[in-house]
Amino acid sequence: MEKSQRRQRAPIVEAIRVDKISGGTRLVQAIRIVLAVVYAALSLIPVLWIGMTAFKSRPDATAVPPKVFFKPTLEGFVSLLTDRAILLEARRQELLQHLDELPWYQRLMVQQGMEVTGPSQYVGRLKNSMIIAGVSTVAAVVLGLLAAYAFSRFPVPGKGDLLFFILSTRMLPPVVVTIPIFLMYRRLGLHDTHIGLILLYTVFNLSFSVWLMKGFLDEIPREYEEAALVDGYTRLQAFFKVVLPNSLSGLAATTVFCLIFAWNEYAFALMLTTDKARTAPPSITTMLGRGGIEWASIAAGSLGFLIPVVLVTFALRKYLLRGVTFGAIRQ
């Protein structure tokens, strides 16, 4: 009798489980939390350092020993995003007289003996990164979702072989094929084009997205679609109305992983682009050589580069939390 009552209760959720944990496991749990916090703090130190350096002035950035407390300035960001010219003494004096009328970034540079002449290339490259990573992520996720659905639900001839083949594209380090792809792209006229990198990143991400999405779709019971079919919907309607809303966490996880790959990719971007389609990662490193090492600019570039991925991940975190725990979406 008691057992039957218990089974009738609502499904177990996290909150119920926690109070079932015994004293011993509670200690283990506490240790785990401490370890996780320590690990998170340790891995955040470089990010924190980048963040600090980005707001340092040039002398502060290279000071030995490193300064933990300093007067923050936007110099790094301004020099990252603008092209500048060295001022001649006469012109400098002239500008200094009208300092109050100048925009804030110009004021900052004039004090350094430079004049802002226009936006830097980095702005365009950041834009390239956004276009290429965004489009290739959407393409990889959409194509991956459709392929995964077919693999998950229909008797595709040679399914196992096809899935293995798709996975096998991941079996060698991509850098190994940079030279052949470089030659191919030159021939095909895809060198230094947006479409070239989009195509490449989509293909690289596709294997990943097919496998990941298949895992998520396999977890969604077929009965939901079958119920929709007998409820009067076509297969396509059932997919959009029932399967898709239930695979959101999987889609979010796949999107974030694909985006991070496409956004961070360095080697191919360096090889296959020169100017028009060059993305941010290779251009951050090229700043190393320009008139001494501008650590503040590099840090500002890195920081600005991190932000979009952080924002997307943060926006999708609600789905991600469910997504990374896989089986949890089953009813």
What is residue 292's DSSP assignment? S
Q: Per CB under 8 A, which of residues 4..23 are in contact with other proteins?
A: 4, 7-11
Verify binding: residue 158, other proteins, rule CB under 8 A: no
Residue closer to other proteins (CB basis): 168 or 237: 237
Residue closer to other proteins (CB basis): 17 or 71: 17
Phi/psi at 86 (nearest 5 deg)?
Answer: -75, 135
CB of 331 to other proteins, least distance (A): 6
Residue closer to other proteins (CB basis): 128 or 247: 247
> Which residues, at least 6 apart from 203, have a Cβ–Cβ distance to it below 8 Å?
169
CB of 2 to other proteins, least distance (A): 11
CB of 326 to other proteins, least distance (A): 16
Site string for other proteins, 230-269 (x = CB under 8 A): xxxxx--x---xx--xx-----------------------
Which residue in 118, 82, 54 sits closest to 298, CA to CA? 54
What is residue 84's DSSP assignment? E
Residue closer to other proteins (CB basis): 121 or 234: 234
Residue closer to other proteins (CB basis): 29 or 237: 237
Residue closer to other proteins (CB basis): 84 or 241: 241
Q: Per CB under 8 A, which of residues 208..237 are in contact with other proteins?
A: 221, 223-224, 226-234, 237
Residue closer to other proteins (CB basis): 4 or 22: 4
* # chain residues binding other proteins, by CB under 8 A: 26
Is residue 225 classed as helix, strand or coil in its secondary structure? Answer: helix
Which residue in 286, 285, 268, 288 sits closest to 277, CA to CA? 268
CB of 252 to other proteins, least distance (A): 14
CB of 243 to other proteins, least distance (A): 10
Which residue in 43, 68, 41 sits closest to 53, CA to CA? 68
Cα dihedral across residues 199, 202, 203, 204: positive or negative: positive
Q: What angle do CA 219, 206, 215 make, to 5 degrees?
A: 10
Site string for other proteins, 115-134 (x = CB under 8 A): --------------------
- Does residue 100 contact residue 110 with C-beta atoms inside 8 Å? no
CB of 250 to other proteins, least distance (A): 13
Which residue in 259, 258, 220 sits closest to 239, CA to CA? 220
Amino acid at 115: E
Q: In whole angstroms, how far apart are CA 60 and each of 28, 68, 285?
A: 44, 10, 21
Q: Per CB under 8 A, which of residues 311..330 are in contact with other proteins?
A: 329
Residue at token pair 């595709």: 156
Where along the sequence are the contacts to other proteins (CB under 8 A)?
3-4, 7-11, 221, 223-224, 226-234, 237, 241-242, 245-246, 329, 331
